[in-house]
């Protein structure tokens, strides 16, 4: 008898979460200013996101708040600014002054007192009052008020956060250097409230992945599996947003690391005997999940699928067993690589000394991406390369999204994979230093295999870690669930 579709109810998220986030930033910023003998006055000022239309049309895309602004203020609506008075700790929102016909087309125009109560801030004004308001609040009338604005590079995208822009900026001193690294570091370590939301997103997404497994059948389209996931997380979980574009890859497509984009839109027909790689995660109150499950379309692992799947599962489990504060993420990546190479060596897909393979970076041929990334309000949460940390140059390691040592309160994905990618296998076969380790005859059997990835979201705790994801992982569990057994499966 199958379990009910969902046992979850979308939780109400208290806005004091964002009050705590603002206090965390203020404490860190004041500590920094004190340590550098700078006065603790002025304002932190952030600009929220703006609605975007589809090209030149009047169709407005579904809005999702800018992540740093969401972290500090929790505001769902577009067009806001937010400030924190450093000397008093008071928080201020500036709301857009909406035209009268907004009420005709888009609903009630909310009062400033509504936003003050809803978002638990101290003061609310209109955006067009911002310059005068900040000047009035600032105590040192002989000087221009100092604004700490957000500007810095996201090391995952190499894009820069955009500092606030508004009329009257010439009336303020602007600091673009101080805020970004401090606010980014605040986001790296999650509070218990943040962890509870990430756990909920994981719970909903884990349920949805199980529904995908149960319903996958040969003859369906990949996008139908995507649809099952999105329906479940919204219908039962209240998740209007997904953390990222769904990757619903089957057969050879499962070797395409970021499948699912416009040129590869989850549109292949599922075939009996193929492996499926489903990388999908829901978002709730800005905080996300990022989960990958791999399973056979027909519900039964073949011998070859079992070899590759268990290699990746062992890497996944070895890493989680080794995670604790102080552990190097680079070493965790290498542990995953070595575990997979040992399994491939046992299966005679590669041949030779595994330590020598590690030295020649053979693991990157089969797992070209990094082991995982920080997770939070963004799927690839910022802070992976804090000041002073350099990205490695070696193949595979250069793809790491962080090289930090683990700290209690971090949430990080553990997502080892093993793929058979022609764009990597062909040059590897032409490189004598790597080719000597490759058993080309055995490899030929796997050229159209695709790939396997297993991804869980893991919270680092004081004494180790906690896996927040609850999906079938063992081959026998997957086969049982796909055959209709309730989850969790009893042996």
Mean pLDDT score of the chain: 97
120 vs 387: which has the higher pLDDT: 120
Q: Specify if 225 maps to a domain.
A: yes
pLDDT-derived band of residue 288, with 50, 70 and 90 as boundaries?
very high
Nearest 5 degrees, angle CA 13-CA 236-CA 229? 115
Distances (CA, A) of 240 to 138, 230, 243: 40, 9, 10
Please state the rounded mean pLDDT for residues 201-209: 99
Do 254 and 172 share a structural domain?
no
Q: Considering only 35-39, 375-379, 477-481, which range has the smallest mean pLDDT?
A: 35-39
Do 298 and 271 share a structural domain?
yes
Please state the rounded mean pLDDT for residues 71-94: 98
Nearest-CA neighbor of 460 among 274, 150, 201, 188? 188
Do 198 and 175 share a structural domain?
no
* Segment 218-268, tens digit of pLDDT: 999 999 999 999 999 999 999 999 999 999 999 999 999 999 999 999 999
- Which of 188, 209, 236 finishes a domain? 188
CATH number of residue 94's parent domain: 3.40.350.10
Does pLDDT of 139 surpass 80?
no
How many other CB atoms sit within 10 Å of the CB of residue 90? Answer: 15
Do 218 and 184 share a structural domain?
no
Give one word for 326, left, alpha or beta, with left for phi > 0 and alpha for psi -120 to 50.
Answer: left
Do 29 and 94 share a structural domain?
yes
pLDDT-derived band of residue 2, with 50, 70 and 90 as boundaries?
very low
Q: Specify if 88 maps to a domain.
A: yes
Q: Looking at residue 7, what is its pLDDT?
A: 87
Do 209 and 93 share a structural domain?
no
- Which of 127, 160, 188 finishes a domain? 188
Full domain range(s) for residue 214: 192-483
Q: Looking at residue 5, what is its pLDDT?
A: 83
- Which of 131, 153, 188 finishes a domain? 188
Please state the rounded mean pLDDT for residues 28-56: 96
Do 222 and 116 share a structural domain?
no
Q: Specify if 2 maps to a domain.
A: no
Do 198 and 142 share a structural domain?
no
Does pLDDT of 1 surpass 50?
no
Do 57 and 134 share a structural domain?
yes
Q: Per-residue b/e over 292-310, b at no fewer than 16 CB within 10 Å?
A: bbbbbbbbbbeeebebbbb
Q: Specify if 334 maps to a domain.
A: yes
Q: Specify if 273 maps to a domain.
A: yes
Do 197 and 159 share a structural domain?
no
With beta carbons less than 8 A apart as the criterion, state whether 310 and 343 touch: yes
Nearby residues of 382 by Cβ (< 8 Å), 6 or more positions away: 154, 155, 156, 184, 187, 188, 374
Do 336 and 274 share a structural domain?
yes
* Segment 406-436, tens digit of pLDDT: 999 999 999 999 999 999 999 999 999 999 9
Please state the rounded mean pLDDT for residues 73-82: 99
Task: Record the tokens describing residue 176, joined without a space.
Answer: 């673009």
C-alpha dihedral sign at 420, 422, 425, 428? negative
Q: Specify if 6 maps to a domain.
A: no
Q: Specify if 285 maps to a domain.
A: yes
Does pLDDT of 376 surpass 80?
yes
CATH number of residue 411's parent domain: 3.90.230.10
Do 323 and 244 share a structural domain?
yes
Q: Looking at residue 147, what is its pLDDT?
A: 98
Task: Record the tokens describing residue 272, joined without a space.
Answer: 């009996």
How many other CB atoms sit within 10 Å of the CB of residue 17? Answer: 20
Q: Specify if 340 maps to a domain.
A: yes
Percent over 90 (pLDDT), the chain: 96
Domain tally for the chain? 2
* Segment 314-367, tens digit of pLDDT: 999 999 999 999 999 999 999 999 999 999 999 999 999 999 999 999 999 999
Does pLDDT of 92 surpass 90?
yes
Q: Looking at residue 491, what is its pLDDT?
A: 79
Q: Looking at residue 155, what is its pLDDT?
A: 93
* Segment 144-199, tens digit of pLDDT: 999 999 999 999 999 999 999 999 999 999 999 999 999 999 999 999 999 999 99
Please state the rounded mean pLDDT for residues 432-450: 97
């Amino acid at each position: 008898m199958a379990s009910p579709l969902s046992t979850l109810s979308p939780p109400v998220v208290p806005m004091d979460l964002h009050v705590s986030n603002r206090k965390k930033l203020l404490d860190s910023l004041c500590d920094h200013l004190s340590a550098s003998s700078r006065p603790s006055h002025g304002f932190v000022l952030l600009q929220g996101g703006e609605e975007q239309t589809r090209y030149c049309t009047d169709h407005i895309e579904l809005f999702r708040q800018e992540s740093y602004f969401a972290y500090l203020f929790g505001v769902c609506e577009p067009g806001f600014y937010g400030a924190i008075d450093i000397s008093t700790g008071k928080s201020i929102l500036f709301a857009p002054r909406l035209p009268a016909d907004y009420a005709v087309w888009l609903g009630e125009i909310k009062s400033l007192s509504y936003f003050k109560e809803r978002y638990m801030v101290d003061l609310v004004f209109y955006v067009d009052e911002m310059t005068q308001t900040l000047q009035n609040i600032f105590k040192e009338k002989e000087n221009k008020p100092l604004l700490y604005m957000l500007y810095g590079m996201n090391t995952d995208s190499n894009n820069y956060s955009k500092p606030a822009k508004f009329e009257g900026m010439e009336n303020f001193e602007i600091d673009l250097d101080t805020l970004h690294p401090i606010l980014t570091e605040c986001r790296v370590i999650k509070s218990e409230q943040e962890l509870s939301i990430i756990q909920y997103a994981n719970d909903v997404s884990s349920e949805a992945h199980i529904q995908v497994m149960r319903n996958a059948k040969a003859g369906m389209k990949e996008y139908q599996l995507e649809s099952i996931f999105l329906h479940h997380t919204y219908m039962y979980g209240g998740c209007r947003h997904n953390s990222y574009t769904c990757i619903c890859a089957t057969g050879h497509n499962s070797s395409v690391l970021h499948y699912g984009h416009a040129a590869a839109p989850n549109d292949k027909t599922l075939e009996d005997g193929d492996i499926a790689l489903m990388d999908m995660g829901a978002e709730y109150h800005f905080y996300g999940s990022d989960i990958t499950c791999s399973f056979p379309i027909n519900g039964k692992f073949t011998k070859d699928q079992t070899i590759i799947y268990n290699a990746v599962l062992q890497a996944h489990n070895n890493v989680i067993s080794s995670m604790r504060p102080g552990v190097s993420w680079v070493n965790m990546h290498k542990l995953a690589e070595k575990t997979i190479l040992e399994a491939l060596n046992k299966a005679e897909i590669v041949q030779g000394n595994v330590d020598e393979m590690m030295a020649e970076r053979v693991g990157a041929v089969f797992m070209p991406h990094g082991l995982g990334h920080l997770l939070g309000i963004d799927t690839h949460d910022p802070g992976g390369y804090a000041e002073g940390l350099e990205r490695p140059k070696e193949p595979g390691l250069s793809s790491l999204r962080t090289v930090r040592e683990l700290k209690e309160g971090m949430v990080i994905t553990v997502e080892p994979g093993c793929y058979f990618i022609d764009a990597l296998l062909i040059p590897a076969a032409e490189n004598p230093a790597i080719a000597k380790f490759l058993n080309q005859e055995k490899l030929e059997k796997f050229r159209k295999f695709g790939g396997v990835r297993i991804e869980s979201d893991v919270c680092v705790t004081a004494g180790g870690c906690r896996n927040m994801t609850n999906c079938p992982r063992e081959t026998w569990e997957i086969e049982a669930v796909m055959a209709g057994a309730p989850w969790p499966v009893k042996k």
